[in-house]
Amino acid sequence: MKSKVQKVFQISIILVIILLVSAFVKAEKGSENNLISINLRDVELETALIMLANTADKNLICDSSVKGKITVIFNDIPFENALNLITDSFNLDYSYQKQIIYISTREKMAARNQKFVSKSYKFNNLSSELAAEILRNNFEEIKIINLNSEGLIINCKEKNLKELEKIISQIDQPQKQIMIKARIEEISRTKIKELGINPNQLAELKIIKNDSGNIEKLKPGWPETLKALNEKGLSNILANPSLMTLDRKKAKLVIGDQIPVKLERIESDKTVSTISYIEAGIVLEFLPKIINQNQILLEIKPSVNSIGQILADGLPAVNSRSAETTVILEDGETLAIGGLIKKDELKTVKEIPILADLPLLGSLFSAAKNTDIETELIIFITPEIIESEVRMVQNKITESNNNEINKKINSQKEEIKGEKQNKNNREFKTLTEEELKEIIN
């Protein structure tokens, strides 16, 4: 009985030795790729894949469909290349799941990738409609149920779930807001000309130097100029409104009236009347875009509309002064838009009461004068980024940390300064007359 056990044990040892001899494995780790060498002859496919993964220190799982025998000889090739060659030879496929290689037939892998899962998501800072639109634009096979304030129920491929959740975490962020402050000033260009000042040079800042190169005169810019004009009664603030809007959302500010206009058209031999509204006054259209923490890209279109003469068809003419521009402004920086010039004709009649009303002779006791009045609208726009509560807390924490650091630095400076003073006090001290005589002697 013992001899049989010994023979079985000896045969087992021989089989292990044969297996080790038949499979010569060498792994070399290069600077960029892990190169492997393996020599297998007529072994089970599953065994070959496991030995290949073990050689490269990889985690690997094969399902029951991985069958067959294989003979391979690889010398110094990357692990991925060896795995691709073997799987392609047996119509297999693989995928990585949490650093584990899963191997199966291509049909099973395709079915696995087509597996759909459903999950609900609730948004704190984004509307469900906008979130659904963004997700539909980024994923082809996706089904979304909009629950409005309760969020979305999303059905998508399981393999896309991780990427989908990553996008959701990125888009569900607090939206920044922008406060836009506007000031609209009307300047009388006619009165400015009467003072001998060129109104086109109001905004110019000039430094005038004398022969010695010293500054002799400084012409002010817009703030000082407008203050002086207000004091002289040459300008008037028409409006000073403010509005708040979200980042990259259009905003519109109308200062004036909406005048109804009746429009008529003929349809099927019948006259159809509709009411349309004309915006008369000052209209400001904004589209702000925050490009970084301190800069704003601002698209702005100001216009000044007024109702003119009635045309032949009964519709009024609209007199419009408009401009359109796109600028990059610092947070809190002011943009001035000028050149919206309007010319009006003012007729002044001077007459002597009673006598001016006499027939035929009345014109002798009255005089009419036509005066051209020229005004210019200047619009000042100041955008400011409104910090969210989270951002304000972060800034306070950062500011507090900076203050602590500054306190420590100042404390260290005071200590060093004190040490120097003490050292100086030790080096230079007042001596008595007797001590001086003793040192001199």
Calpha distance 96→413 (Å, rounded): 57
Dihedral of the alpha carbons of 48, 52, 58, 63, in degrees to the nearest 10: -20
Considering the domain architecture, whether residues 216 and 358 belong to the same structural domain is answered as: yes
Q: Which of 96, 80, 85, 89 is closest to 36 using CA atoms?
A: 80
Q: Biggest alpha carbon distance in the chain?
A: 157
Considering the domain architecture, whether residues 96 and 152 belong to the same structural domain is answered as: no
Is residue 271 in a domain?
Answer: yes
How many domains is the chain partitioned into structurally?
Answer: 3
Task: Please say whether the beta carbons of 257 and 227 come within 8 A.
Answer: no
Calpha distance 106→88 (Å, rounded): 10
Query: Would you give per-residue pLDDT tens digits along the chain (441 residues)?
Result: 555 556 556 655 655 454 454 444 443 433 345 688 888 888 999 988 988 888 888 899 898 888 889 998 889 899 889 999 999 889 898 888 778 898 988 888 877 767 788 889 999 888 889 899 889 888 877 889 898 888 899 988 877 888 888 898 888 888 889 999 998 888 887 777 776 666 766 655 454 556 665 655 555 556 666 666 777 777 888 888 899 998 989 999 888 877 787 777 777 778 888 887 777 888 899 999 999 888 999 999 988 887 777 666 666 777 777 888 899 999 988 888 877 776 766 666 677 776 667 777 666 667 766 767 778 888 889 999 987 654 555 455 555 655 666 666 666 656 655 555 554 444 444 555 565 555 554
Q: According to the model, what pLDDT value does residue 289 have?
A: 93
Calpha distance 239→93 (Å, rounded): 71
List residues bridging with 84 in a β-sheet.
none
Considering the domain architecture, whether residues 216 and 318 belong to the same structural domain is answered as: yes
Q: According to the model, what pLDDT value does residue 298 have?
A: 93
Q: According to the model, what pLDDT value does residue 423 have?
A: 46
Is residue 10 in a domain?
Answer: no
Domain boundary among 65, 92, 112: 112
Q: According to the model, what pLDDT value does residue 266 have?
A: 78
Considering the domain architecture, whether residues 213 and 334 belong to the same structural domain is answered as: yes
Q: Residue 94 sits in which domain range?
A: 35-112
Q: According to the model, what pLDDT value does residue 114 have?
A: 73
Domain boundary among 386, 417, 436: 386
